[in-house]
Amino acid sequence: MNQDYIDEVLHAVMHSIKENQTLISRRTIEETIRDDPYLYPSFRSLSPTSRRTKISIIMNLHFPLWIKGKGVHQNTYVWKVKDEKKE
């Protein structure tokens, strides 16, 4: 996988996630990339399907997929990017 794709996805993750969040969806990452195409030039010319595929591959390599039992659609891509803070 091209390092530019990896860097851009990880940048989008870090800029999309709020301080108290532990999970991020593929949709959130994709919207971040789509909303600012000049900040993510490697993804600019990709089709939506190619963009989603690359995001999923990169995220699966870097973060555990979050699936919590029943009620989670199998096509829902959500990753755990931070541990929950215990108070």
Cα dist from 59 to 64, 67, 81, whole Å:
8, 14, 9
Q: What percent of the chain has pLDDT over 70?
A: 85
- Of the pLDDT bands very low, low, confident and very high (cuts 50, 70, 90), residue 19 is confident
Does residue 87 belong to any structural domain of this protein?
A: no
Backbone φ and ψ of 49, nearest 5° = -65, -45
Domain containing residue 28: 3-80
Q: What is the CATH number for 67?
A: 1.10.10
Domain assignment present for 76: yes
pLDDT of residue 20: 86
Cβ–Cβ under 8 Å, residues 55 and 10: no
Q: Look at residue 10 and tell me if it is in a domain.
A: yes
In a domain, 86, yes or no: no
pLDDT digits (tens, 9 = 90+) for 69-80: 555 555 568 898
51 near 33, Cβ under 8 Å? yes
Query: Is this structure's pTM higher than 0.75?
Result: yes
Q: Per-residue pLDDT for 86 more than 90?
A: no
pLDDT band of residue 67 (cuts 50, 70, 90) is confident
